[in-house]
Amino acid sequence: MKRLLKMMPSLLRIGFAENIAYRAEMLIWVLATTMPFVMMVMWRSVAEHFDIVGGMGQTLGPLQMTHYFLAVFVVRQVVSAWAAWEMNFEIRQGTLSMRLLKPISPLIGYAVSGLTGLPLRLVVALPVLLVFFFLGGFRPGAEYGLLFLLPLALVGGWLIVLFANMAIGSLAVFSGSSTRIMEAWMAAFFVFSGYLFPLDLFPDWLAWIGDILPFRYQLGFPVQVLTLSLEVGDALILLGKQWLWVAVLGVLTWVLWRRGVRHFEAFGG
Amino acid sequence: MSGILRHLGVSMWRYLKLLGIQLKASLLLSMQYRADFFIDAVISMFWAVTAIAPLWVVYGERVGGQISGWSLGEAMLVVGCFIFLQAVLEGVIQPSLQTVVEHIRKGTLDFVLLKPADAQFLVSTARFQPWKASNFLASGVIFGVAFARLEVWPSLGNLAQGALLLVVATGLLYSLWIWVVSAAFVVVKVNNLTFLLSAILDVGRWPVGVFRGVLRWVFTFVIPTALMTTFPAQALLGVLSWAEFRLVIVCAVVFAIVSRWVWLRSIRYYTSASS
């Protein structure tokens, strides 16, 4: 642990330098995550013609929709990881063995390289966050205390994405490629996370399924916290469920990775 | 004159044969992973459901809304077109894109350029995923459900027009793809380009009527997702005017010409960078 802490500064510096070097790729990724803006326009036009009532009895007018999707964009920039694609690539090319030679677990390497992309993404996200606060204004009676939960909710969301990526990435050792499973994860993420529409609008049975699956804890929950659209009690319960998912996926990642590495070494000789 | 025509015929025949060979190679490769067929079939059904899910929400009891003038059945037709194009994207375009990106990154594109056939053709047909054909099935099912809901069946003329426009839409998508590949020449490490392309197509889930003003114009002429999904759906419904039909064809031709030009330019960029 102490050794790891000593290595951390240089690991972070290397990761950050890599991200600067491949900044064009980062820009393309940000462009690919502009879906919330499209959804914002779409839901504004629906909200102008129809009265939409959210789960807490609040009206979701055009302004609230704008507010919601700006928050979605910001949170998506923070809770992102693509370790699964990196792992697939390195396992297929065999370059994973280089990582295994290093004196730290490759899992930490993947986590750090994802984390160091954050500053660049924040450069894009912060202006949007400013617009978000500007549009929202001060709402008397809103639960501003919820914002204290935001850091925990964001870290929890990020860990869910990261662990899911690593668990699925580890599967590539056994099947040669697991990008397809990752694609299926993304498809489910789009629907159940609140990325395409506010979670409040789900029909009851879909909401029930969404509540069990990890996806809403990945994005929807932090967004609800940021837009202050939860009671404090509910927020704490959701936070508990979120960290339960973090724990479950963490253990799953650990188990799959351990088995994967043993399999990989046997395969690579 | 007849000499030119014969020459054209011969080279057409040659490229058809080449296409056959490339297809066969991909098919043989895929036959090794037969189990993938079932995974793909399950995933494509899953995709189809997730593509419909947003409509459930908009038209569902909670919202009870509508997308400017589109009934649920009509909007489902747009989703059907969207899934069709997604099938093209995943089965034909994305696999080739990954091959090119790797070629560019490793510098092995030189070997492709050396071959005595058009490089754009070779690159575009490098890899197919035949198992993704199950996506076409999914889009067929959605078309069926949509028309059953609407309780009208399209006339033969409308059907032909819709099918033709879907083919044209495939052409448009291909042109966009060439632009994306050309971007790969400039930025090199571009795993994310595949995300970008599907993100662009994602806009096509919704009838273009959702957008107004500048955005509508952008999604018609700059990133032509409207032409790709909304217009074929309108053709199937028989509400597409001839002027709009002509507009799609003209746009597709313009996009094709521009993309060929962009390709030739970026090839030159690649050669000068490596040598």
User: pLDDT for A13-23, tens place per residue?
Assistant: 888 888 887 77
- The reported pLDDT for the residue numbered B62 is 65
State the smallest CA–CA distance between residue B205 and chain A in angstroms. Answer: 11
State the smallest CA–CA distance between residue A260 and chain B in angstroms. Answer: 21
Is-contact A101 A269, C-beta < 8 A?
no
* Cα–Cα distance for residue pair B193/A31, rounded to 1 Å: 10
- The reported pLDDT for the residue numbered B65 is 66
Sequence ranges of the domains in chain B: 1-32, 36-274
Is-contact A204 A113, C-beta < 8 A?
no
State the smallest CA–CA distance between residue A92 and chain B in angstroms. Answer: 13
Residues 199-218 of A with CB under 8 A from B: 200-203, 206
Q: Which of B53, B202, B211 sits opposite A35 (nearest CB)?
A: B202
State mean pLDDT over A178-187. 83
Nearest to B235 by CA among B92, B95, B80, B127: B80
pLDDT in tens, A74-95: 999 999 888 888 898 888 888 8
State mean pLDDT over A18-42. 81
Does the CB of A45 have a partner CB in chain B at under 8 Å?
Answer: yes
Cβ–Cβ gap A46/B65 under 8 Å: yes
- The reported pLDDT for the residue numbered A22 is 75
Q: Which of B63, B191, B212 sits opposite A45 (nearest CB)?
A: B212
* Cα–Cα distance for residue pair B173/B180, rounded to 1 Å: 11
Domain that holds residue A171: 2-268
- The reported pLDDT for the residue numbered B272 is 47
Cβ–Cβ gap B65/A52 under 8 Å: yes
pLDDT in tens, A215-242: 999 999 999 999 888 888 999 999 999 9
> What residues of chain A lie within 8 A of the CB of B36, using their CB?
180
What is the residue-averaged pLDDT of chain A?
86
pLDDT (tens digit, 0 to 9) for every residue of chain B, 275 residues total? 566 777 777 788 888 888 888 888 888 877 777 767 777 777 777 777 877 877 877 787 666 667 777 888 888 899 999 989 988 888 888 888 778 877 877 778 888 888 888 888 888 887 877 777 788 888 888 899 889 888 888 888 889 999 999 999 999 998 988 888 887 777 665 567 777 777 888 888 888 877 777 878 888 888 888 888 889 998 988 888 888 889 899 999 999 999 999 988 888 877 645 44
Cβ–Cβ gap A32/B195 under 8 Å: yes
* Cα–Cα distance for residue pair B262/A53, rounded to 1 Å: 48
Show the tokens assigned to A227: 């837009």
Cβ–Cβ gap B199/A31 under 8 Å: yes
The predicted model scores a pTM of 0.82
Search chain A and give the residue with CA nearest B187: A24
Cβ–Cβ gap A35/B63 under 8 Å: no
State mean pLDDT over A246-267. 88
Cβ–Cβ gap A46/B66 under 8 Å: yes
Number of domains in chain A: 1
* Cα–Cα distance for residue pair A185/A171, rounded to 1 Å: 14
pLDDT in tens, A104-148: 888 888 998 888 888 888 888 999 999 998 887 667 777 788 889
∠ CA B35-B37-B40, nearest 5°, is 115
Q: How many residues belong to chain A?
A: 269
Cβ–Cβ gap B195/A53 under 8 Å: no
Cβ–Cβ gap B57/A22 under 8 Å: no
- The reported pLDDT for the residue numbered A213 is 93
Which residues share a beta bridge with B70? B67
- The reported pLDDT for the residue numbered A183 is 81
Q: Which of A35, A50, A183 sits opposite B199 (nearest CB)?
A: A35
Show the tokens assigned to A230: 């939860």
Is-contact B189 B105, C-beta < 8 A?
yes
* Cα–Cα distance for residue pair A182/A171, rounded to 1 Å: 10
Q: Provide the pLDDT confidence category of residue A163 given band limits of 50, 70 and 90.
A: very high
- Is A53 strand, coil or helix? strand
* Cα–Cα distance for residue pair A149/B127, rounded to 1 Å: 48
Alpha helices in B125-155 (DSSP H): 134-150
State mean pLDDT over A28-40. 83
- The reported pLDDT for the residue numbered A164 is 95
Task: Give the position of tokens 């690579």.
Answer: A268
* Cα–Cα distance for residue pair B149/B59, rounded to 1 Å: 14
State the smallest CA–CA distance between residue A43 and chain B in angstroms. Answer: 9
Q: Provide the pLDDT confidence category of residue A269 given band limits of 50, 70 and 90.
A: very low
- The reported pLDDT for the residue numbered B61 is 66
Cβ–Cβ gap A187/B50 under 8 Å: yes
Does the CB of B163 have a partner CB in chain A at under 8 Å?
Answer: no
